[in-house]
Amino acid sequence: MRSRRARTHDQDGSYGAIAIGGGEADEFFDWPAVRDAIVAYVVRRGHPRHLAEDVAQDTIAALIAYTDERRPGSIYALAFRIAANRLADHFRKNNRFTGELESDPSCEKPLPDRVADGKRKLAILKHAMSAMPSLRREVIVRRRLENQSHARIASDLGLSLSSVEKHVTRGMNDLRKALAAAECRDRIG
């Protein structure tokens, strides 16, 4: 392994050098300058100084580990890339869902496919209603759409109660059959 030396801040503010690794080559990395560049980079991107200091510390640690194994083409380019990744990791970790949403993101409108399906079913039901005998259609409209009671329909139309019930049952069966036949046609073709 080759020798690596890095310049560091001493307690009195002067620069010193430390050797990283072992060997014979004398390479110096100006770690305080790299650190200052990283802090400036993070602050210029609009992040607070304390976050910039944390990112710089993590980045320098990663750079030292990297330079123990291989020599980067540009220490600054690598430092900025690592710092950008550390920032992304920081926000990814801190922006996880932690509580309830402030507002309901759901839309009140139905989805387009549901609207299209509803229109298709409505057309099928209209066709089935028009194919019914007029008395049965009148009974179905009064019972299912106007919500009239069996007794009232019977008295208004001059029918027996059991006759109204049979018209409702047969009318609903006709509508169900029309929808089932349309579903079957859609699956086949």
Residues 84, 132, single domain; the answer is no
DSSP letter for each residue of 71-94:
--S-HHHHHHHHHHHHHHHHHHHH
> In the predicted model, is pLDDT for residue 7 greater than 50?
no
pLDDT of residue 104: 61
The whole domain housing 177 covers 124-188
> Would the pTM count as exceeding 0.75?
no
> How far, in Å, CA of 182 to CA of 189, rounded?
10
Residues 87, 170, single domain; the answer is no
How high does pLDDT run on average in the chain? 82
- For residue 181, what are its two tokens? 């036949």
- Indicate the number of domains in the chain: 2
Residues 6+ apart with CB under 8 A from 75: 29, 34, 63, 67
Residues 73, 131, single domain; the answer is no
**Boundary residue ending a domain (79, 94, 109):** 94
Q: What is the pLDDT of residues 45-62, one digit of tens each?
A: 888 999 999 999 999 999
What's the CATH number where 140 sits?
Answer: 1.10.10.10
Residues 6+ apart with CB under 8 A from 7: 15, 16, 17, 28, 29, 30, 31, 32, 33
**Interior CA angle at 60 toward 59 and 66, to 5°?**
90
At residue 108 the predicted structure's pLDDT band, cuts being 50, 70 and 90, is: confident
